[in-house]
Amino acid sequence: MIARASKLFLPTLRDDPADAEAVNHKLLVRGGFVRQVTGGVWTFLPLGWRVHRKVEQIIREEMDAIGTQEMLMPVLTPFELWQQTGRDYIPELFRLKDRKGAEYVLPMTHEETVAFHARELQSYRQLPQMLYHFSIKERDEPRPGKGLIRLREFIMKDAYSFDRDEEGLAKSFDLQRGAYNRIFDRLGLEVYGVEAESGMMGGKESFDFLAPTGAGENTLVRCENGDFAADLEIARGVARPPVFPETLLSTEEVETPDVRTCEALADFLSIDVAATSKAMPVTTDDGMVVLALVRGDDRIEPAKLDAALGKPSRPATDDEIRAAFGASGGSLGPVGFKGEVVADETLRHGQFVAGANKDGWHLLGVEAGRDFQPRFADLRASHEGDICPVCGGKLQFETAIEVGHIFKLGTRYSAPLGANFVDEDGQEKPLIMGSYGIGPARVIAATVEQRNDENGIIWPASIAPYDVHIVVVKGAEEVGEQAAAVLDAAGFDVLLDDRDQRPGEKFADADLIGIPIRITAGKKSLEDEAVDVKDRATGAERRVNVADLGKELG
RNA sequence: CGGGACGUAGCUCAGCCUGGUAGAGCGCUGCCUUUGGGAGGCAGAAGCCGUCGGUUCGAAUCCGACCGUCCCGACCA
């Protein structure tokens, strides 16, 4: 196939768009791949859509290869289905009414709809089943942005598995996980599969696929020795051991005027900040004030705290703190507090300095179990300097894009929607479900974030919009056409830049667009019926006879 | 939802403080010239200065509200 640049809708830009910060945003807009219509809502222009379809095709092939069947479910969905699963409250859910007043949602994912169809699976003899589709998802995100990373409307491949039991689900899950690894491999993306939080999807186990990039919304924690990787939200790094002061037989009050932070406290007392404790009072959604306690050098990871509490929480207000502690922030501690105390595992052993619940005073030698009775949980956010739980190596932190997420759902959707089957024993049981999502737009964003230089994008061959970009310099039109014809006959997709532009502009556009192979047809090579072939990634250039192009690039 | 920045031609921006005929570069149209890394010349087209309201003889400019975009935070399958 030969596409002529002179005929394409391919609006490249010389400058970065003013409102772009993320690299993927800048380069995809400048390269004429995409345009934003409104916040978080984008059009894929012809060039960008070619990339999108290539990404889809790789996903499609790997889904098909493990027996997942492609279908298509609608966007417009009865609200009732979401009421039945109790997901009708989700703030990100777009809702609308038709002219008769009937209510609909624009779904953010299709568990409800696919479970609705799965009601037609009636016997264990029909299991397992795996279904998928590519379809538009709608999410009323409070803060869309960062180019194609956080969108309000996007296409997702979502697959669903249906099994008779947990064992079957484990097999389906492994099949999908294997397919995901092959997909990311073919996409040329650096991706790490890690344990993850399930969030509002429910279910028991989930696995995130994180692509480390310059822009992103997740943090990938990795051991320098490559034996540990996790999402920061659940990463369990090992904190360094504190240097404790002398052990005390009982707590001692100490006056600490104007000390507001743990660092200041440690300075004031001349002790290791890791030997202090940090109190964070939170209010749960049922109105209880709970004291969360971590080491002075740690920060609380809210996702972990909520998981430990089993319910959402928010920082307590000043009034709530006064009422519960009789002191204000900066001097709070667990000793004497009447409510529940949840302490991080790092506080299990040793004596720490804690607030005395008296403004301007702290307690020395506070010991869990002796001076207060906490419930222990993993609350602390891992941070740089933590130690790998596997090998003791150093943990490294990287910003990452979540490009895929797979879940073991169990009966979370099948039970409320009545998607049951009759098992071998004659009993009716809910289907055991899994769901498996991947967003091509995020794949594209992550690819651009990972593969670019100061001149533009460097696509991997597997998803490049075209295979070869031919730059025709004035006077070499004939050779350019010949080269295009030879490559076309050899099965390559060719972008032929036949525009009436100066060569510099064409080279700049070629670098920006980032097709892996650039061919220049110009006077330099004209006399020997040859062209210059340049590798976008390495910059290596060589001269090839037009007749040999098919063989040389094959 | 909190904090911040911004909104003027297709794009990137100046003008605003100190109110008085709306500007530049790039791009676009025509012609000339040039052609292996975003050339040059001549001539042109192109903007309801985000919207609404207020102040004023007069508002891109001052004031207010709203809308939109981007960033940080909260939130997030």
pLDDT at A386: 83
- Identify each DSSP E strand in A224-321 by its residue range: 229-231, 252-255, 277-284, 289-295, 313-315
Which nucleotide has the least CA–C1' distance to A108?
A: B77
Query: What is the pairing mode between strands A313-315 and A277-284?
Result: antiparallel
pLDDT at A199: 59
Looking at residue A316, its amino acid is A
Which backbone phi and psi does A211 adopt, to 5 degrees?
-105, 115
Which nucleotide has the least CA–C1' distance to A534?
A: B36
> Within 13 Å, how many C-alpha atoms sit on residue A46's CB side?
11
Secondary structure percentages of chain A, helix, strand, coil, to 5: 30, 30, 40
Q: What's the pLDDT band for A326 if we cut at 50, 70, 90?
A: confident
Give, as ranges, the nucleotides of chain B with any atom within 7 Å of a protein CB: 1-2, 6, 11-13, 25-27, 34-39, 68-77
Burial class (CB in 10 A: 0-12, 13-18, 19+), A345: middle
Tokens (6 digits) for A183: 């997909």
pLDDT at A409: 94
Round to a whole number and report the distance in Å from the CA of A455 to the C1' of B37.
11
User: CA-CA distances (angstroms) from residue A94 to A97, A149, A371?
Assistant: 11, 19, 50
pLDDT at A240 over 60: yes
Higher pLDDT, A447 or A527: A447
| Residue found by looking up tokens 């056409």 in the block | A481
| Cβ–Cβ < 8 Å for A157, A56 | yes
Higher pLDDT, A26 or A215: A26
Q: For residue A457, list its beta bridge partners.
A: A452
Which nucleotide has the least CA–C1' distance to A20?
A: B70
Give CA–CA dist A442/A453, Å, rounded: 19
Looking at residue A355, its amino acid is G
Helix (H, G, I), strand (E, B) or coil at A179: helix
Tokens (6 digits) for A146: 């960062």
pLDDT tens figures, A505-553: 999 999 999 999 999 999 888 878 899 999 999 999 999 999 999 999 9
From the C1' of B76, which residue's alpha carbon is nearest? Answer: A141
pLDDT at A499: 95
Round to a whole number and report the distance in Å from the CA of A504 to the C1' of B12.
20
Which nucleotide has the least CA–C1' distance to A402?
A: B77
Give CA–CA dist A17/A189, Å, rounded: 26
Higher pLDDT, A302 or A154: A154
Query: What is the pairing mode between strands A428-430 and A375-377?
Result: unpaired
Round to a whole number and report the distance in Å from the CA of A19 to the C1' of B16.
22
Round to a whole number and report the distance in Å from the CA of A457 to the C1' of B47.
34
Give CA–CA dist A92/A107, Å, rounded: 10
Which backbone phi and psi does A299 adopt, to 5 degrees?
-120, 150
pLDDT at A203: 60
Mean pLDDT, rounded, for A26-53? 96
Q: What's the pLDDT band for A200 if we cut at 50, 70, 90?
A: low
Which nucleotide has the least CA–C1' distance to A142?
A: B75
Which nucleotide has the least CA–C1' distance to A532?
A: B36
Round to a whole number and report the distance in Å from the CA of A38 to the C1' of B73.
22
User: CA-CA distances (angstroms) from residue A142 to A93, A139, A145, A152?
Assistant: 11, 9, 10, 9
Right CATH for A466-553 from 3.40.50.150, 1.20.58.1000, 3.40.50.800, 3.40.1180.10: 3.40.50.800
From the C1' of B69, which residue's alpha carbon is nearest? Answer: A19
pLDDT at A105: 96
Looking at residue A206, its amino acid is S
pLDDT at A281: 84
Round to a whole number and report the distance in Å from the CA of A38 to the C1' of B59.
30
pLDDT at A198 over 70: no
Which nucleotide has the least CA–C1' distance to A40?
A: B69
From the C1' of B37, which residue's alpha carbon is nearest? Answer: A504
Give the percent of chain A with pLDDT over 90.
64
DSSP state of A227: S
pLDDT at A316: 78
Round to a whole number and report the distance in Å from the CA of A14 to the C1' of B12.
9
Round to a whole number and report the distance in Å from the CA of A39 to the C1' of B18.
37
Give CA–CA dist A26/A28, Å, rounded: 6
Nearest of A67, A165, A160 to residue A424 by alpha carbon? A165
CATH architecture group of domain A252-377: Alpha-Beta Complex (3.90)
Give CA–CA dist A181/A515, Å, rounded: 24
Lowest mean pLDDT among A7-16, A379-388, A467-476: A379-388
| Cβ–Cβ < 8 Å for A37, A151 | no
Mean pLDDT, rounded, for A404-428? 96
Round to a whole number and report the distance in Å from the CA of A320 to the C1' of B65.
35
Delimit the domains of chain A by residue range: 49-73+108-233+397-449, 252-377, 466-553
Mean pLDDT, rounded, for A272-286? 85
Round to a whole number and report the distance in Å from the CA of A19 to the C1' of B15.
21
Number of other CB atoms surrounding residue A252 within 10 Å: 13
Mean pLDDT of the residues in chain A = 91
pLDDT at A202 over 70: no
Instruction: Look up the CATH superfamily of A49-73+108-233+397-449.
Output: Bira Bifunctional Protein; Domain 2 (3.30.930.10)
Mean pLDDT, rounded, for A68-82? 97
Q: What's the pLDDT band for A379 if we cut at 50, 70, 90?
A: confident
Round to a whole number and report the distance in Å from the CA of A519 to the C1' of B63.
60
Which nucleotide has the least CA–C1' distance to A525?
A: B36
Which nucleotide has the least CA–C1' distance to A154?
A: B77
Lowest mean pLDDT among A189-193, A223-227, A245-249, A319-323: A319-323
Q: What's the pLDDT band for A171 if we cut at 50, 70, 90?
A: very high
Query: What is the pairing mode between strands A218-223 and A468-472?
Result: unpaired
DSSP state of A316: P
Round to a whole number and report the distance in Å from the CA of A20 to the C1' of B7.
15
Mean pLDDT, rounded, for A129-139? 97
pLDDT at A443 over 70: yes
Which nucleotide has the least CA–C1' distance to A502?
A: B35
pLDDT at A137: 96
- Identify each DSSP E strand in A368-431 by its residue range: 375-377, 395-410, 420-422, 428-430
Which nucleotide has the least CA–C1' distance to A479?
A: B36
Round to a whole number and report the distance in Å from the CA of A14 to the C1' of B53.
39
Q: What's the pLDDT band for A476 if we cut at 50, 70, 90?
A: very high
Round to a whole number and report the distance in Å from the CA of A8 to the C1' of B44.
27
pLDDT at A384 over 80: no
pLDDT at A201 over 60: no
